[in-house]
Amino acid sequence: MKFGTKAIHAGIKPDPSTGAIMTPIFQTSTYVQKSPGDHKGFEYSRTQNPTRQVLERNLAALENGNHGLCFGSGMAAIDCILKLLKPGDEVISTNDLYGGTYRIFTKVFSKYGIKFHFVNMEDSTQVESLINKNTKLIWAETPTNPMMNIIDIRALGKISKKHGVLLGVDNTFATPFLQNPLDDGADIVMHSVTKYLAGHSDVVMGAIVVKEDKLAEELAFMQNSCGAVPGPQDCFLVLRGIKTLHLRMERHSQNGKTIAAYLKNHPKVDKVYWPGFEDHPNHSIARRQMRDFGGMISFTLINNRLEDAIKVLEKFKVFVLAESLGGVESLCGHPASMTHASIPREEREKVGLSDSLIRLSVGIEDAEDLKKDISKALEAV
Protein backbone atom coordinates (compact mmCIF):
# COMPACT_ATOMS: atom_id res chain seq x y z
CA MET A 1 0.00 0.00 0.00
CA LYS A 2 1.01 3.61 -0.56
CA PHE A 3 1.29 5.75 2.58
CA GLY A 4 -2.10 7.46 2.37
CA THR A 5 -3.84 4.10 2.04
CA LYS A 6 -1.86 2.64 4.94
CA ALA A 7 -2.71 5.60 7.17
CA ILE A 8 -6.41 4.89 6.70
CA HIS A 9 -6.47 1.09 6.49
CA ALA A 10 -3.29 -0.62 7.78
CA GLY A 11 -3.95 -2.80 10.82
CA ILE A 12 -7.57 -1.61 10.93
CA LYS A 13 -10.58 -3.82 10.23
CA PRO A 14 -14.31 -3.26 10.75
CA ASP A 15 -15.46 -4.39 14.19
CA PRO A 16 -16.46 -8.06 13.76
CA SER A 17 -19.35 -7.86 16.22
CA THR A 18 -21.12 -4.89 14.61
CA GLY A 19 -19.37 -4.02 11.36
CA ALA A 20 -18.46 -0.56 12.74
CA ILE A 21 -15.94 1.03 10.36
CA MET A 22 -14.30 2.98 13.21
CA THR A 23 -12.41 0.99 15.82
CA PRO A 24 -14.56 0.97 18.98
CA ILE A 25 -13.34 2.46 22.25
CA PHE A 26 -12.99 -0.62 24.45
CA GLN A 27 -13.36 1.21 27.74
CA THR A 28 -12.74 -1.79 29.96
CA SER A 29 -10.10 -2.78 32.48
CA THR A 30 -10.58 -6.54 32.31
CA TYR A 31 -12.05 -9.34 30.18
CA VAL A 32 -14.21 -12.35 31.05
CA GLN A 33 -12.55 -15.75 30.72
CA LYS A 34 -14.44 -18.96 30.00
CA SER A 35 -11.93 -20.93 32.09
CA PRO A 36 -8.59 -19.97 33.65
CA GLY A 37 -6.37 -19.06 30.70
CA ASP A 38 -9.19 -19.67 28.20
CA HIS A 39 -9.92 -16.17 26.86
CA LYS A 40 -10.28 -14.29 23.59
CA GLY A 41 -6.76 -12.88 23.51
CA PHE A 42 -7.27 -10.22 26.16
CA GLU A 43 -6.90 -10.55 29.93
CA TYR A 44 -6.18 -7.12 31.44
CA SER A 45 -5.97 -3.71 29.77
CA ARG A 46 -2.55 -2.77 31.11
CA THR A 47 -1.26 -5.72 29.12
CA GLN A 48 -3.54 -5.53 26.08
CA ASN A 49 -6.51 -3.51 24.93
CA PRO A 50 -8.26 -3.98 21.55
CA THR A 51 -8.29 -0.25 20.72
CA ARG A 52 -4.62 0.14 21.62
CA GLN A 53 -3.72 -3.00 19.69
CA VAL A 54 -5.21 -1.61 16.48
CA LEU A 55 -3.27 1.64 16.90
CA GLU A 56 -0.04 -0.24 17.58
CA ARG A 57 -0.48 -2.29 14.41
CA ASN A 58 -1.28 0.83 12.40
CA LEU A 59 1.84 2.64 13.65
CA ALA A 60 4.02 -0.39 12.92
CA ALA A 61 2.76 -0.45 9.34
CA LEU A 62 3.39 3.29 8.85
CA GLU A 63 7.03 2.90 9.97
CA ASN A 64 7.56 -0.30 7.95
CA GLY A 65 8.09 -2.18 11.21
CA ASN A 66 6.67 -5.40 12.60
CA HIS A 67 5.77 -4.36 16.14
CA GLY A 68 4.31 -1.19 17.64
CA LEU A 69 3.96 -0.30 21.32
CA CYS A 70 2.08 2.69 22.73
CA PHE A 71 2.74 4.56 25.97
CA GLY A 72 1.21 7.27 28.11
CA SER A 73 3.67 9.88 26.73
CA GLY A 74 6.75 10.21 24.56
CA MET A 75 8.87 10.33 27.70
CA ALA A 76 7.32 7.05 28.89
CA ALA A 77 8.39 5.51 25.58
CA ILE A 78 11.97 6.75 26.05
CA ASP A 79 11.89 5.51 29.65
CA CYS A 80 10.99 2.04 28.37
CA ILE A 81 13.85 2.04 25.86
CA LEU A 82 16.40 3.05 28.51
CA LYS A 83 15.22 0.21 30.75
CA LEU A 84 16.78 -2.17 28.23
CA LEU A 85 20.10 -1.00 29.71
CA LYS A 86 21.90 -1.87 32.94
CA PRO A 87 24.40 -0.10 35.22
CA GLY A 88 27.71 0.42 33.46
CA ASP A 89 26.18 0.70 29.99
CA GLU A 90 26.86 3.77 27.88
CA VAL A 91 24.73 5.80 25.48
CA ILE A 92 25.91 8.10 22.70
CA SER A 93 23.36 10.84 22.08
CA THR A 94 23.11 13.80 19.77
CA ASN A 95 24.04 17.01 21.60
CA ASP A 96 21.03 18.91 20.21
CA LEU A 97 17.90 17.21 21.48
CA TYR A 98 14.61 17.76 23.23
CA GLY A 99 15.08 19.11 26.76
CA GLY A 100 12.92 16.39 28.31
CA THR A 101 15.13 13.71 26.77
CA TYR A 102 18.27 15.42 28.05
CA ARG A 103 16.65 15.63 31.50
CA ILE A 104 15.70 11.95 31.72
CA PHE A 105 19.19 10.99 30.52
CA THR A 106 21.14 13.21 32.92
CA LYS A 107 18.83 13.56 35.92
CA VAL A 108 17.21 10.14 36.09
CA PHE A 109 19.10 7.32 34.42
CA SER A 110 22.60 8.65 35.07
CA LYS A 111 21.85 8.02 38.77
CA TYR A 112 21.60 4.31 37.99
CA GLY A 113 25.10 4.02 36.57
CA ILE A 114 24.34 4.64 32.89
CA LYS A 115 26.80 7.00 31.21
CA PHE A 116 25.72 9.43 28.48
CA HIS A 117 27.94 11.07 25.86
CA PHE A 118 26.55 14.05 23.94
CA VAL A 119 28.12 14.67 20.55
CA ASN A 120 27.49 16.58 17.33
CA MET A 121 26.16 13.84 15.07
CA GLU A 122 26.26 15.86 11.86
CA ASP A 123 29.63 14.15 11.41
CA SER A 124 29.03 10.44 12.04
CA THR A 125 32.75 9.72 12.52
CA GLN A 126 32.53 11.53 15.88
CA VAL A 127 30.00 8.92 16.98
CA GLU A 128 32.19 5.95 16.11
CA SER A 129 35.16 7.42 17.98
CA LEU A 130 33.17 7.23 21.25
CA ILE A 131 32.09 3.60 20.96
CA ASN A 132 33.61 1.17 23.43
CA LYS A 133 32.72 -2.23 24.90
CA ASN A 134 30.15 -0.62 27.22
CA THR A 135 28.27 1.24 24.47
CA LYS A 136 24.80 -0.23 24.06
CA LEU A 137 22.70 2.53 22.44
CA ILE A 138 23.10 5.36 19.95
CA TRP A 139 20.29 7.94 20.25
CA ALA A 140 19.51 10.42 17.49
CA GLU A 141 16.91 12.99 16.55
CA THR A 142 16.70 14.17 12.95
CA PRO A 143 15.78 16.90 12.32
CA THR A 144 16.98 17.84 15.80
CA ASN A 145 15.04 19.92 18.29
CA PRO A 146 15.33 22.90 17.98
CA MET A 147 18.29 23.52 15.65
CA MET A 148 16.95 21.33 12.80
CA ASN A 149 20.29 19.56 12.37
CA ILE A 150 20.21 16.65 9.94
CA ILE A 151 21.81 13.37 11.00
CA ASP A 152 22.64 10.62 8.51
CA ILE A 153 20.57 7.67 9.73
CA ARG A 154 22.08 5.30 7.18
CA ALA A 155 25.62 6.11 8.33
CA LEU A 156 24.67 5.60 11.98
CA GLY A 157 22.93 2.36 11.05
CA LYS A 158 26.15 1.01 9.52
CA ILE A 159 28.13 2.04 12.58
CA SER A 160 25.63 0.47 14.98
CA LYS A 161 25.58 -2.83 13.08
CA LYS A 162 29.39 -2.91 12.86
CA HIS A 163 29.70 -2.60 16.65
CA GLY A 164 26.57 -4.51 17.72
CA VAL A 165 24.96 -1.41 19.23
CA LEU A 166 21.28 -0.49 19.13
CA LEU A 167 20.32 2.60 17.13
CA GLY A 168 17.26 4.52 18.32
CA VAL A 169 15.81 7.44 16.37
CA ASP A 170 13.28 9.98 17.61
CA ASN A 171 11.20 10.51 14.47
CA THR A 172 8.73 12.98 15.99
CA PHE A 173 9.59 15.98 13.81
CA ALA A 174 9.64 14.09 10.50
CA THR A 175 6.85 11.53 11.11
CA PRO A 176 6.70 8.32 9.07
CA PHE A 177 5.24 10.32 6.19
CA LEU A 178 8.52 12.15 5.65
CA GLN A 179 11.06 9.60 6.92
CA ASN A 180 11.33 5.91 7.88
CA PRO A 181 14.44 5.32 10.04
CA LEU A 182 13.96 1.52 10.17
CA ASP A 183 14.51 1.43 6.40
CA ASP A 184 17.87 3.17 6.89
CA GLY A 185 19.18 0.84 9.59
CA ALA A 186 17.64 2.01 12.86
CA ASP A 187 16.58 -0.67 15.36
CA ILE A 188 14.07 1.47 17.28
CA VAL A 189 11.88 4.36 16.20
CA MET A 190 10.28 6.52 18.87
CA HIS A 191 7.49 9.07 18.49
CA SER A 192 5.93 11.64 20.70
CA VAL A 193 2.50 10.75 19.31
CA THR A 194 1.25 13.89 21.04
CA LYS A 195 2.65 15.88 18.14
CA TYR A 196 2.07 15.26 14.41
CA LEU A 197 0.68 11.73 14.61
CA ALA A 198 -2.29 12.74 16.76
CA GLY A 199 -2.11 16.17 15.18
CA HIS A 200 -4.89 18.02 17.00
CA SER A 201 -3.36 19.03 20.36
CA ASP A 202 -5.80 16.86 22.32
CA VAL A 203 -3.75 13.78 23.28
CA VAL A 204 -0.54 13.01 25.17
CA MET A 205 1.01 9.71 24.02
CA GLY A 206 4.23 8.02 22.94
CA ALA A 207 5.07 5.07 20.70
CA ILE A 208 7.89 2.72 19.76
CA VAL A 209 8.18 0.72 16.52
CA VAL A 210 10.70 -2.06 15.89
CA LYS A 211 11.24 -4.87 13.39
CA GLU A 212 13.01 -7.51 15.48
CA ASP A 213 10.82 -9.98 17.40
CA LYS A 214 13.17 -10.44 20.39
CA LEU A 215 13.57 -6.70 20.88
CA ALA A 216 9.80 -6.28 20.69
CA GLU A 217 9.36 -8.96 23.36
CA GLU A 218 11.76 -7.16 25.71
CA LEU A 219 10.04 -3.83 25.20
CA ALA A 220 6.56 -5.34 25.58
CA PHE A 221 7.64 -6.98 28.83
CA MET A 222 8.78 -3.58 30.10
CA GLN A 223 5.61 -1.90 28.83
CA ASN A 224 3.44 -4.36 30.75
CA SER A 225 5.63 -4.53 33.85
CA CYS A 226 5.99 -0.77 34.30
CA GLY A 227 2.50 0.05 33.08
CA ALA A 228 2.87 3.45 31.42
CA VAL A 229 0.18 2.71 28.84
CA PRO A 230 -2.39 5.01 27.21
CA GLY A 231 -6.13 4.62 27.63
CA PRO A 232 -8.48 3.49 24.84
CA GLN A 233 -10.09 6.93 24.40
CA ASP A 234 -6.71 8.45 23.56
CA CYS A 235 -5.91 5.56 21.22
CA PHE A 236 -9.19 6.18 19.41
CA LEU A 237 -8.37 9.87 18.98
CA VAL A 238 -4.93 9.06 17.55
CA LEU A 239 -6.38 6.52 15.13
CA ARG A 240 -8.74 9.23 13.94
CA GLY A 241 -5.93 11.78 13.63
CA ILE A 242 -3.67 9.45 11.66
CA LYS A 243 -6.28 9.07 8.92
CA THR A 244 -5.36 12.59 7.73
CA LEU A 245 -1.63 12.46 8.56
CA HIS A 246 -0.53 12.43 4.92
CA LEU A 247 -2.78 15.38 4.03
CA ARG A 248 -1.70 17.37 7.06
CA MET A 249 2.01 16.74 6.53
CA GLU A 250 1.77 17.86 2.91
CA ARG A 251 0.27 21.17 4.06
CA HIS A 252 2.69 21.53 7.01
CA SER A 253 5.59 21.07 4.57
CA GLN A 254 4.12 23.45 1.99
CA ASN A 255 3.51 26.16 4.60
CA GLY A 256 6.91 25.48 6.17
CA LYS A 257 8.63 26.19 2.85
CA THR A 258 6.69 29.43 2.42
CA ILE A 259 7.35 30.71 5.95
CA ALA A 260 11.03 29.70 5.95
CA ALA A 261 11.61 31.67 2.73
CA TYR A 262 9.72 34.67 4.13
CA LEU A 263 11.81 34.68 7.33
CA LYS A 264 15.08 34.29 5.43
CA ASN A 265 14.40 37.50 3.52
CA HIS A 266 13.17 39.54 6.49
CA PRO A 267 15.55 42.35 7.58
CA LYS A 268 14.95 41.78 11.31
CA VAL A 269 15.77 38.06 11.15
CA ASP A 270 19.35 36.83 11.46
CA LYS A 271 19.53 33.05 10.99
CA VAL A 272 16.78 30.67 9.84
CA TYR A 273 17.08 26.95 10.51
CA TRP A 274 15.03 24.79 8.12
CA PRO A 275 16.42 21.67 6.42
CA GLY A 276 14.85 22.50 3.06
CA PHE A 277 17.36 25.26 2.34
CA GLU A 278 20.15 24.19 -0.02
CA ASP A 279 22.71 25.86 2.27
CA HIS A 280 21.39 24.10 5.38
CA PRO A 281 24.10 21.76 6.77
CA ASN A 282 23.62 18.18 5.50
CA HIS A 283 20.82 19.30 3.15
CA SER A 284 21.88 16.60 0.68
CA ILE A 285 21.32 13.95 3.37
CA ALA A 286 17.92 15.44 4.16
CA ARG A 287 17.00 15.21 0.48
CA ARG A 288 17.99 11.55 0.44
CA GLN A 289 16.34 10.34 3.63
CA MET A 290 13.31 12.65 3.76
CA ARG A 291 10.40 13.02 1.31
CA ASP A 292 9.89 16.70 2.22
CA PHE A 293 11.17 19.04 4.92
CA GLY A 294 8.26 19.58 7.29
CA GLY A 295 6.86 22.56 9.14
CA MET A 296 9.34 23.01 12.00
CA ILE A 297 11.45 26.17 11.75
CA SER A 298 13.73 28.00 14.19
CA PHE A 299 15.10 31.49 13.73
CA THR A 300 17.10 34.14 15.56
CA LEU A 301 16.77 37.90 15.55
CA ILE A 302 19.27 40.57 14.55
CA ASN A 303 21.27 41.61 17.67
CA ASN A 304 20.26 38.35 19.45
CA ARG A 305 18.50 39.96 22.42
CA LEU A 306 16.26 37.98 24.76
CA GLU A 307 13.98 40.97 25.32
CA ASP A 308 13.38 41.25 21.57
CA ALA A 309 12.41 37.59 21.31
CA ILE A 310 9.92 38.02 24.16
CA LYS A 311 8.38 41.08 22.47
CA VAL A 312 7.90 39.16 19.24
CA LEU A 313 6.41 36.12 20.97
CA GLU A 314 3.98 38.29 22.90
CA LYS A 315 2.76 40.01 19.74
CA PHE A 316 1.91 36.90 17.71
CA LYS A 317 -1.84 36.36 17.20
CA VAL A 318 -2.27 33.43 14.79
CA PHE A 319 0.88 31.69 16.06
CA VAL A 320 -0.03 30.77 19.63
CA LEU A 321 2.63 30.84 22.35
CA ALA A 322 2.52 27.34 23.85
CA GLU A 323 4.55 24.24 24.59
CA SER A 324 4.38 21.35 22.12
CA LEU A 325 4.20 21.24 18.32
CA GLY A 326 2.70 19.34 15.41
CA GLY A 327 -0.93 20.37 15.76
CA VAL A 328 -3.06 21.75 12.95
CA GLU A 329 -2.74 25.19 14.54
CA SER A 330 0.51 27.15 14.35
CA LEU A 331 2.49 27.43 17.59
CA CYS A 332 5.47 29.53 18.59
CA GLY A 333 7.86 28.95 21.45
CA HIS A 334 11.03 30.11 23.16
CA PRO A 335 13.18 26.98 23.63
CA ALA A 336 15.67 28.57 26.04
CA SER A 337 12.96 29.29 28.62
CA MET A 338 10.35 26.67 27.68
CA THR A 339 11.04 23.28 26.04
CA HIS A 340 14.81 23.32 26.65
CA ALA A 341 15.01 25.16 29.98
CA SER A 342 16.26 21.96 31.66
CA ILE A 343 19.46 22.11 29.59
CA PRO A 344 22.19 24.32 31.14
CA ARG A 345 22.75 27.57 29.25
CA GLU A 346 26.37 26.75 28.41
CA GLU A 347 25.26 23.45 26.84
CA ARG A 348 22.46 25.17 24.90
CA GLU A 349 24.82 27.78 23.50
CA LYS A 350 27.28 25.11 22.32
CA VAL A 351 24.73 23.97 19.74
CA GLY A 352 23.62 27.49 18.82
CA LEU A 353 20.49 27.63 20.95
CA SER A 354 20.68 31.32 21.73
CA ASP A 355 18.42 33.45 23.91
CA SER A 356 16.73 35.03 20.88
CA LEU A 357 15.96 31.71 19.17
CA ILE A 358 12.26 31.31 18.38
CA ARG A 359 10.83 27.96 17.30
CA LEU A 360 7.79 27.77 15.05
CA SER A 361 5.51 24.82 14.49
CA VAL A 362 3.88 25.94 11.26
CA GLY A 363 0.30 24.74 11.09
CA ILE A 364 -2.08 24.18 8.21
CA GLU A 365 -3.71 27.63 8.14
CA ASP A 366 -3.53 29.89 5.08
CA ALA A 367 0.12 30.79 4.53
CA GLU A 368 -0.67 34.42 3.73
CA ASP A 369 -2.30 34.87 7.14
CA LEU A 370 0.76 33.32 8.78
CA LYS A 371 3.10 35.69 6.95
CA LYS A 372 1.02 38.70 8.00
CA ASP A 373 1.11 37.51 11.60
CA ILE A 374 4.89 37.20 11.51
CA SER A 375 5.21 40.61 9.89
CA LYS A 376 3.16 42.30 12.62
CA ALA A 377 5.00 40.45 15.39
CA LEU A 378 8.40 41.49 14.05
CA GLU A 379 7.29 45.14 14.17
CA ALA A 380 7.82 44.86 17.93
CA VAL A 381 11.61 45.01 17.45
Active site residues: 46, 98, 170, 195
Is the four-CA dihedral 227, 211, 6, 11 of positive or negative sign?
Answer: negative
The helix or strand, by DSSP H or E, that contains position 301, with its residue range, turns out to be strand 296-301
Helix, strand and coil percent figures for the chain, each rounded to 5: 40, 15, 45
d(CA 252, CA 196): 10
Separation CA 81–CA 75 (nearest Å): 10
DSSP states of 108-143: IGGGGT-EEEEE-TTSTHHHHTT--TTEEEEEEESS
Q: Which residues pair with 321 in a beta bridge?
A: 332
Give the separation between CA 294 and CA 326, rounded to whole angstroms: 10
Contact 189, 65 (CB under 8 A): yes
The Cα 187–Cα 66 span in angstroms is: 11
Strand partners, 91: 116, 137
Could you give phi then psi for residue 281, rounded to 5 degrees?
A: -55, 135
d(CA 315, CA 321): 10
Q: Which residues of 262-297 are buried (b: 16+ CB within 10 A; e: fewer)?
A: bbeebebbebbbbbbbeebbbbebbeebbebbbbbb
Is residue 184 within 8 A of residue 154, CB to CB? The reply is: yes
- Farthest-apart Cα atoms in the chain, separation: 73
